[in-house]
Amino acid sequence: MNDYLKDKITEDSMVACYMTDIRHILRPAAFLDLAQHMAVFGADCLKFGDEQLGPYGCTWILARQHVRFERPVMHKEKIKMLTWHKGLDGLYFIRDYQLLDAEGRPAVNSTSSWVVMNLAERRVARADFLSEIISTEPQSPDDAVAERAPKVSVPRGAELELIGTHVVRFSDVDYNGHANNVKYTVWAMDALPEELVYNKFLKELTINFNKEARQGDTVELWHLLADDGSHIVEGRADGRQVFIERLLFE
């Protein structure tokens, strides 16, 4: 059920079996799928979705996202997803999300930074028409995460280890003609050690999207265990960084 909660857009659902891992916990990628769905729905509700951008040959592209998993969310839990547009911050349009449990308590908090891409040029659109379509003012003054999704970088002098490769296939590609943003986290989690992803709880993730991966591209997955205990996974195609992600487990 879609609805409005004051100045936010909401949707009620339940954690289905296909959204969970071997421990019956909501997969990180499943939350990212929910967030992506809510971003599209939220933009449509505010009349700056694909229907409005399409005639200009443009679409929304996710540039950065930060997620804080406050606790494990379990199979069959009743949940409410919230999203709201937080206006313009420099080059980025900001959108926040919360996943609430049945008692209305936040189980996941997230913030994301978006740009509008010209589909023909495959570049960020900076045209004047954007200000006529997309509000630069927040839909809500609230913060799911007060800070903007940060830039992730490899520490100076650090050496990364190649831990896998992935060829972009049919199931990876979305209607924008490139690998869907959620897939990068799927590839990263699949490439990390099994004893880590099977036995530890992912507390935080931050991902930056820097270059498209297209059908047939081979993405190399490089890994670094940082001094703070976080895992950095960098995806490269043809020697260029496609994405970089920081994952913190506990």
Helix (H) or strand (E) holding 181: helix 181-191
Residue 130 three-state SS: helix
Residue 82 three-state SS: strand
Superfamily per CATH, domain 161-249:
Hotdog Thioesterase (3.10.129.10)
Could you report the per-residue pLDDT of 116-160, keeping only the tens digit for each?
999 999 999 876 788 889 988 999 999 999 999 999 999 999 999
Could you report the per-residue pLDDT of 81-99, keeping only the tens digit for each?
999 999 999 989 999 999 9
Could you report the per-residue pLDDT of 23-39, keeping only the tens digit for each?
999 999 999 999 999 99
Domain boundaries, the chain: 2-133, 161-249
Please determine whether the domains at 2-133 and 161-249 fall in the same fold group of CATH.
Answer: yes
Q: What's the pLDDT band for 208 if we cut at 50, 70, 90?
A: very high
> CA–CA separation, 57 vs 50, rounded Å?
9
In contact, 127 and 56? CB cutoff 8 Å: yes
What is the domain class of 2-133 according to CATH? alpha beta
User: How many beta carbons lie within 10 A of that of residue 63, not counting itself?
Assistant: 20
Whole-number average pLDDT of the chain = 94
State pTM to two decimals. Answer: 0.94
- Average pLDDT for 214-240: 97
pLDDT at residue 70 tops 80: yes
Q: What is the pLDDT of residue 131?
A: 83
Q: What is the pLDDT of residue 6?
A: 58
